[in-house]
Amino acid sequence: MKLRYFSHSAFEVTTNNGKVILIDPFLDDNPTSTVKSIDVKADYIILTHAHGDHIGDAFKISKRCNSTIICTYELANYCKSKGVSAHDMSIGGGHNFEFGRVKFTIAFHGSQTPEGTYGGQPAGVILTIDNVTIYHTGDTGLFYDMKLIGELNKIDYLLLPIGDNYTMGINDAVRAVELVNPKIAIPMHYNTFPVIKADPNLFKKEVEQLGKNCRIMQFGESIEV
């Protein structure tokens, strides 16, 4: 399976049998993404929360590709009100889709929709596809239950924010890596805007000092996972 990083919190997973799943596809208004929404396709779109830099172009892509959006209940209702199809879930729940398993976790953050309405609770998401487990934390501060999440789910790839201000910064993110204990940590949610400027190489260095692996994905890069 392939993992592509667009920048910010936006990723694309392509399964071994060709299904495409986007996570938080913030592309058209994302100054660091060279890939725009018209360039991608999706069978499913997973949203961690309702903020504009995470919903991004989900509705546009969903309407063009007839993709199902997977997210928490309140956000799913918001999606449906925009005329797209959504599969609603809640935190702590998992579901087996045709491409693999999706489970939502807690995240400490907000989740107001771009229109100012309640978007439900923000979430992280654990994907198990083709025997690989990816934990995309969404936007969150550090929380100790990450240790339990790591123990219960055996994370291969941990995608976590390092940009500070709205989420964990580098120091807390390094502690998050320690708690989750993934095979590989991949930093996200940094350098999109001046307020979340962070040096991924510093994060990598500190993660490696723990004896853990870090892979900095370049914006637009695709890797085999």
Tokens of residue 23, six digits = 């996570």
d(CA 69, CA 34): 23
Closest CB 35 distance from Mn ion, rounded Å: 18
Please say which residue, 51 or 212, places its beta carbon nearer to Ni ion. Answer: 51
Tell me which of Mn ion, Ni ion, none is bound by residue 204, counting a contact when its beta carbon lies within the kind-specific cut-off of 5 to 8 angstroms: none
Q: Considering the rule CB under 5 A, would residue 164 count as an interface residue with Mn ion?
A: no
Q: How long a stretch of residues is the chain? A: 225
* Least Cβ distance, residue 54 to Ni ion (angstroms): 6
Q: Which residues contact 194 (CB under 8 A, 6 or more apart)?
A: none
Binding segment for Ni ion (CB under 5 A), chosen from 30-38, 43-51, 79-87, 189-197, is: 43-51
- Taking the complex as a whole, the smallest distance from the CB of residue 188 to Mn ion amounts, in Å, to 10
x/- site string to Mn ion, residues 75 to 94, per CB under 5 A? --------------------
Contact by Cβ (8 Å): 140, 161: yes
Q: Could you tell me the two tokens for 16?
A: 């071994």
- The answer to whether 24 contacts Ni ion (rule: CB under 5 A) is no
- How many residues touch Mn ion under the rule CB under 5 A: the total is 2
Binder of residue 164, out of Mn ion, Ni ion, none (CB less than 5 to 8 A by kind):
none
Looking only at the bridges linking them, the beta strands covering 157-161 and 184-188 are parallel
* Six token digits for residue 59: 């509705």
- Of 47, 178, 12, the C-alpha closest to 123 is 47
Q: By CB under 5 A, is residue 139 in contact with Ni ion?
A: yes
Q: Are strands 86-89 and 94-97 parallel, antiparallel or unpaired?
A: unpaired
C-alpha 209/C-alpha 202 separation (Å) is 11
Please state the closest distance from residue 29 (CB atom) to Mn ion, in A: 13
Q: Residue 3 is encoded by which pair of tokens?
A: 């993992």
The partner residues of 86 in beta bridges, in order of sequence, read 69
Write the binding mask 46 to 65 for Ni ion: x where contact by CB under 5 A, - elsewhere: -----x--------------
DSSP letter for 109, please. S
Residue with Cβ nearer Ni ion (12 or 139): 139
**Which positions from 37 through 66 interact with Mn ion, judged by CB under 5 A?**
53
Q: What is the closest distance, in whole angstroms, from the C-beta atom of residue 189 to Mn ion in the complex?
A: 6
Applying CB under 5 A, among 12, 74, 88, 139 the residue interacting with Mn ion is 139
Helices (H), 30-189: 52-55, 58-65, 73-81, 146-153, 170-180
Residues that bind Mn ion (CB under 5 A): 53, 139
Residues that bind Ni ion (CB under 5 A): 51, 139
